[in-house]
Structure 1
Amino acid sequence: MIQVDNIAKSFGGIKAVDACSFEVAEGSITGLIGPNGAGKSTLFNIVTGFLKPDSGRILLDGDNVAGVPPEQLFHRGLVRTFQTPHEFSRMTVRENLMLVPAGQRGENLLQSWLRWARVKDQERQLLDQVDDVLAFLNLDHIADTLAGNISGGQKKLLELGRTMMTDARVVLLDEPGAGVNRTLLATLADAITRLNRERGYTFCVIEHDMDLVAQLCAPVIVMANGSVIAQGDFDTIRRNPQVIDAYLGGVPA
């Protein structure tokens, strides 16, 4: 589905991503791990159009989309979440989800005046979709709570919920487990697994929690110094001497 082909990106002479290549297969939950500064988030920003690479290609279903703006990739089903959630803190959880779908009739002044019945019909459909997302993520009990007042873990679930309000086909998750307590982390992991198995989502996941990576991800890709140094299943990766030296530390488990 996504092919990262020889991508490079430098900032002020420092190579953040250096000749990086790998694939995210359709229907997979692909893990992307490595030490801080390995270039993982920079690569996510390139794949999702927030940064242009200096060289290389990003293929989405065979089309080179390197440098294509995020809003265009959004309409092609490629979306991402961020390590720090970006909720609208003064709006409720439900309202945050309602905002997501593009092209809502109520955004058009003429349609609001002349086709009010159609606007209300679409709004009812969106509310049904929001209720489905809230129930799926076990957030229905805080639907009317201001998003700024919910916990960090609940904000991560809300970020995931926002992707469910789109026509997402492939979702890039940037450290979904960071700062999330173990109870909500289990809910988050279950939601990702169900979205993958039941609704056909493809995921690429940056994560430092190795228990979560082991639970969710196959294959696992390891980056260090801007390049891919290893890839394979988790058991193979954790025994790779180069990975142990660059990231995991200690001795093979």
Structure 2
Amino acid sequence: MLEVENLVMEYGGFRAVDRCTLTAEEGHITGLIGPNGAGKTTLFNLIAGAIEPTSGRIRYMGEDITHLSADKRFHKGLVRTFQIPHEFHRLTVLENLMMVPGHQAGESLFANWFAWGKVAGDERETERRAWETLEFLELTHVADERAGNLSGGQKKLLELGRTMMTDARLVLLDEPAAGVNRTLLRKLEEKIAILNKERGYTFILIEHDMEMIEKLCHPVICMAEGTVLIEGDFQTVRSDPRVLEAYLGETVGDAA
């Protein structure tokens, strides 16, 4: 589904991403781990179209999207979330979901004057989908709450819900466990697994919570210094000496 080939992102003389090559298979939850500064979030920014690479190629569903704008990638079903949620904090939770779908009739001034029936119909359908999403996420009790008042875990669930309001096929999840209490984290894991197994969503997941990675992800890719260090199942990656060295900053022999 996604192919990243020899991707490079330079800032001056510093390479945040250095000849990075990886693939993400459709129907999988691919885990992306690595120490702070490994280049994981920069890689997400490149894949999502927030920045353009210095060199290299990105292919999505067989199409070269290396220079495609972020909004066009979004409309092709490539969607991302953020480590710090980007909710519209003064809007209600329900309104945050309803404003996500693109190309709604109400966005047109002409339609608001001359096709108000179409506008009203679109809004009813969008509201129905938003309520279905809230029910799935178990957030109906906060539907009318301002999104800025939610807990960290509820905001992460809302971020996931906003991806569900699009035609997402590949979702880039940036540290969904960050700032989430253990109870809501288990719920978040459950919802991601259901979306993957029952609804066909493909995920790439950046995460430092190794318990979450172990539960959800196969394969697991470890990055270090801007490039892929190793890819495999969780146990193989976790026990690789190069991974231990990348995280600890010393060789296994020195650590011993």
Q: TM-score category by the smaller chain?
A: over 0.9
Identity, % of aligned pairs?
A: 57
Q: Distance between the aligned counterparts of 2:128 and 2:36, measured in 1?
A: 41
Query: 1:166 corresponds to which residue?
Result: 166
Amino acid aligned to 1:196: N
Q: Which moved more, 1:235-244 or 1:216-225?
A: 235-244
Query: 1:36 corresponds to which residue?
Result: 36
Q: Distance between the aligned counterparts of 1:132 and 1:63, measured in 2?
A: 32
How many aligned positions are there?
251
5 Å-filtered alignment, 1:98-113, equals 98-113=98-113
Amino acid aligned to 2:151: S
Q: Distance between the aligned counterparts of 1:18 and 1:152, measured in 2?
A: 33
Amino acid aligned to 2:191: A
Structure 2 gap segments, 5+ residues each? none
What TM-score does the superposition give when structure 2 sets the normalisation length?
0.96
Query: 1:134 corresponds to which residue?
Result: 134
CA distance 1:249–1:185, shift in 2 (3 Å):
farther
Q: Distance between the aligned counterparts of 2:248 and 2:64, measured in 1?
A: 34
**Regions of 4+ moved over 3 Å:** 248-251
Structure 1 residue 115 displacement after superposition: 1.5
Query: 2:81 corresponds to which residue?
Result: 81
Please tell me whether residue 62 in structure 1 is matched to residue 62 in structure 2: yes
5 Å-filtered alignment, 1:1-253, equals 1-247=1-247
Compute the RMSD of aligned alpha carbons: 1.2
Deviation by residue 1:75-125 (Cα, 9 ceiling, x = unmatched)? 110010011100111100000000000011111111112111121111111
Structure 1 gap segments, 5+ residues each? none
Q: Secondary structure at the match of 1:103?
A: coil
Q: Distance between the aligned counterparts of 1:82 and 1:128, measured in 2?
A: 26
CA distance 1:249–1:180, shift in 2 (3 Å):
farther
Q: Answer whether contact 1:51 1:67 (CA < 8 A) is retained.
A: no
Q: Secondary structure at the match of 1:199?
A: coil
Q: Distance between the aligned counterparts of 1:68 and 1:48, measured in 2?
A: 9
Deviation by residue 1:17-39 (Cα, 9 ceiling, x = unmatched)? 00100100000000000000000
Q: Answer whether contact 1:46 1:67 (CA < 8 A) is retained.
A: no
Structure 1 residue 249 displacement after superposition: 7.9
